[in-house]
Amino acid sequence: MLQIECPWCGLRDETEYKYGGQAHVAYPEDPSALSDEEWAEYLFFRDNPKGPFAERWVHTGGCRKWFNAVRDTRTYEVLAVYTNSDPRPVISDLVADSAGATA
Amino acid sequence: MADLSTLQGLRRSPLHDMATEIRDGGVTGERAVQLAELPFLTQVGVRVAPDSAGARGIDEALGAPLPRKVGVTSQAGGHTALWLGPDEWLVVSETPADELVEQLRAAAGDTPAQVLDLSANRTVIELTGPGARSVLEKGCPADLHPRVFTDGTAIVTSLARVPVIVWRTDADAFRVVPRASLAQYVAAWLLDAVREFAPVAAEGA
């Protein structure tokens, strides 16, 4: 069972959460100015990295709040959780920390 | 409009139809568990920014500050406030709901806040006895061990795959607070879950 740390509720089972896809995808400032291709890019195209990935999660079975998590897509290790008002963590630092911890 | 007290005499709790099963469904012995519904408790939902003047006003009106941390409950003057989220609480109280709603709305002042009577939204099933925690642990993914889940802890989690509030009021007393529409399912699940805790000798009898 994957366990995820909610920034408000602490460590809970994955079954209490729902997944919200890639984080930090900003809504276009002026959607009507976009070409169809740019709009499709915004709507449907997401990163799919092998490694650390910033994603959105919602704690539906608890406090019902959205937050962001950096998860390693290879190992499922959750490297960081942060709220929408927290600064975005630097992924290369997280990877270095994680490597240091396991070494 | 009909008189409120007349209507209150007519109301039925969500587990009204299971009253006999719940009363007789407990087990005795070393790992005894008794079940009971605590119907019609006043439950008022409060949503307000935790660092606002309105939240501080509500803190004062309740007599104990709304808890600002997961799991914590605060108790004063017949009110208990349960933390449901960083800006959401459930106040369980002995005061009639309409009175309490009015008090808390006034206390919030001009701060954008929501104070709603949610008494009919959920019912309370109480489990008492030395086996209560073991019964809940069969279907609840949260850590209920007393080293983290002390007396007075309440969290939103799930039991038997449905969302509930689990609230420990005493060493051997837990309250499970399901939605009214899920109450019969939760009660039936609990009645089944307590059966294995009956003393072994009684089973062949």
Across the range B127-154, mean pLDDT stands at 96
Where exactly does CATH 3.30.1360.120 map onto chain B? 16-39+123-194
Assembly ipTM = 0.86
> What is the reported pLDDT for A102?
53
Query: Using CB atoms, which residue from B86, B88, B163 is nearest to A61?
Result: B163
Structure-token pair, residue A10: 């602490």
3-class secondary structure per residue, B71-102: CCEEEECCEEEEEEECCEEEEEECCCHHHHHH
> What is the reported pLDDT for A20?
96
Across the range B3-24, mean pLDDT stands at 89
CB B103 within 8 A of CB B9: no
Q: Name the closest residue on chain A to residue B143, using Cα atoms.
A: A12
> Contacts of residue B89 in chain A, CB cutoff 8 Å?
none
Confidence of residue A100 (pLDDT cuts 50, 70, 90): low
> For the purposes of burial, counting CB atoms within 10 Å of the CB of B157, is it exposed (0-12), middle (13-18) or buried (19 or more)?
buried
Contact A61 B158 (CB under 8 A): yes
- For the domain spanning B16-39+123-194, the CATH number is 3.30.1360.120
> What is the reported pLDDT for B201?
67
Secondary structure letter of residue B27 according to DSSP: B
Contact A12 B85 (CB under 8 A): no
* Helix spans in chain B (H): 4-10, 19-24, 53-62, 97-108, 132-137, 183-194, 200-204
Secondary structure letter of residue A68 according to DSSP: E
Confidence of residue B9 (pLDDT cuts 50, 70, 90): confident
Is residue A103 scored above 50 in pLDDT? no
The model's pLDDT over B184-202, given as tens digits with 9 standing for 90+, comes to 999 999 999 999 999 986 5
State the pTM of this model: 0.90
Is residue B22 scored above 70 in pLDDT? yes
Smallest Cα distance from B203 to chain A, Å: 35
CA distance B154 to B100: 21
Confidence of residue A1 (pLDDT cuts 50, 70, 90): confident
CA distance B142 to B154: 11
pLDDT > 90 in chain A, percent: 84
Chain B residues with CB within 8 Å of chain A CB: 70, 84-86, 88, 141-142, 155-158, 163
Contact A63 B157 (CB under 8 A): no
Determine the topology of domain B42-117 in CATH.
Alpha-Beta Plaits (3.30.70)
Where exactly does CATH 3.30.70.1520 map onto chain B? 42-117
The model's pLDDT over B49-108, given as tens digits with 9 standing for 90+, comes to 999 999 999 999 999 999 999 999 999 999 999 999 999 999 999 999 999 999 999 999
Query: Using CB atoms, which residue from B70, B84, B158 is nearest to A16?
Result: B158
The model's pLDDT over A40-86, given as tens digits with 9 standing for 90+, comes to 999 999 999 999 999 999 999 999 999 999 999 999 999 999 999 99
Quote the crossing angle between the two packed helices B53-62 and B97-108, to the nearest 10°: 140
Q: Which residues of A15-27 are buried (b: 16+ CB within 10 A; e: fewer)?
A: ebbeeeeebeeee
> What is the reported pLDDT for B200?
81
Contact A65 B86 (CB under 8 A): yes
